[in-house]
Amino acid sequence: MNWPVAGPVANYLGTIADKITPQIVKVLRGSEPTWKYWCLIIFGRIKPIDPLLLKEIEFLVKHVSKPEIEEGVLEEAQAILKESRS
């Protein structure tokens, strides 16, 4: 998130995460590992986590690609799942 307004935008989007879950899922189903990583960072720790988003994160962990591993997507997704189960 090196864009100057990324932090404030992320903070705002976090407040409406429950209303934009379909768009977040669309990013997680896409081909951009960097976008996936930041979506997980921003939306994966919001409580309570949307069940649809959680299901998509579980799918992502099972079907992760090498670029996603290199970007840290797998590690973050696993941490979110572990936290959601505790």
Separation CA 65–CA 49 (nearest Å): 24
Q: pLDDT tens across 14-29, in order?
A: 999 999 999 999 999 9
Model confidence at 86: pLDDT above 90: no
Q: Where in the sequence is the domain holding 38, given as residue range(s)?
A: 6-85
Mean pLDDT for the stretch of residues 62-85 = 96
In this prediction, residue 3 carries a pLDDT of 84
pTM for this model (two decimals) = 0.91
Separation CA 59–CA 47 (nearest Å): 20
In a domain, residue 22? The reply is: yes
In this prediction, residue 71 carries a pLDDT of 97
In this prediction, residue 45 carries a pLDDT of 87
In a domain, residue 49? The reply is: yes
In a domain, residue 1? The reply is: no
In a domain, residue 35? The reply is: yes
Cα angle: 73, vertex 1, 56; to 5 degrees = 35
